[in-house]
Amino acid sequence: MKRGIITGLGAIVSLGFLAASAVANYLFGASLGRTPHDEMLYGAVGVLAVAMNALAPFYISWSLEAKRRTTAGGIVVLWALCLAYSTTSALGFAAQNREDVATSRQLSQDAYADIRRELLDLETRHKSAIPKDRARLEKRIDDARVRLAAVRNNNPAPADAQSQFLSSLAFGWLDARHVRMALVALFAIMVEMCATLGLFAALSHSRSVTPRPRSPEQSLPAHGKKAW
């Protein structure tokens, strides 16, 4: 009973990773197309590669059980190609999204810093300005304050807090950008490995182990055995 529940939960988790991998592969493949038909084709190939990744371990296991080594070898080659394609697609998807978010946040931070420096400079100039220039500077100061408040209301976040924190833990030996690349690779590899082997790992325990037949001497009770 417990084995069946755990197997079912493992299968559900594996299907979740399969869905995540399929979506990532489809979105990245679709981003490579020039026309809607190209987008659909590239996306569909990515989803099919993910499906083959999940099925290949079963095919390999059954081929080895049937002692069809040539068939198993061919499936391994097919599996390697599909796994390489889906993994690189997942890497591209993760890198594209993470870099876009980091770049957008960095631009917001830069804009906030630029406006703040501009405001401080205008306020400094206003203090020493002659009366006829103060009205013009006051107008520019008010405009800078409005723009600064608008940027502040958007809550500018760190470009990549996770990468920066891990870089600080390494005492600066690892650049934050390199850490971000490593995290992208970790995400893609984890998703693809779980999508590829998760279902096989979960369902391989669903079959009950058949007990080995006992010999006639083992089946006899202890008092029924003859002493030699």
- Tokens representing 7 are 């197997």
Q: Are 126 and 57 in contact (CB under 8 A)?
A: no
In a domain? residue 224: no
* Coil vs helix vs strand at 114: helix
In a domain? residue 91: yes
* Of the listed ranges 17-26, 29-38, 150-159, 215-224, the one predicted with least confidence: 215-224
Give the pLDDT confidence score for residue 83 in this predicted structure. Answer: 94
What's the structural domain count of the chain?
1
Nearest to 59 by CA among 74, 80, 81: 74
pLDDT in tens, 153-184: 766 666 677 787 788 888 778 887 888 888 88
In a domain? residue 218: no
Structural domain that includes position 177: 2-207
CA-to-CA dists, residue 62 to 56, 59, 138, 206, angstroms: 10, 5, 80, 15
Nearest to 78 by CA among 58, 52, 42: 52
pLDDT in tens, 189-226: 999 999 999 989 888 866 554 555 555 555 555 555 44
In a domain? residue 219: no
Give the pLDDT confidence score for residue 149 in this predicted structure. Answer: 80
Q: How far apart are the first and last CA of the chain?
A: 45
Q: Are 198 and 13 in contact (CB under 8 A)?
A: yes
Rounded Cα–Cα distance for residues 8 and 1 (Å): 11
Rounded Cα–Cα distance for residues 26 and 47 (Å): 6
In a domain? residue 58: yes
pLDDT in tens, 103-140: 777 777 777 778 888 888 888 877 777 777 777 888 88
% pLDDT > 70, the chain: 86
In a domain? residue 145: yes
Give the residue, 96 or 59, on which the prediction is more confident: 59
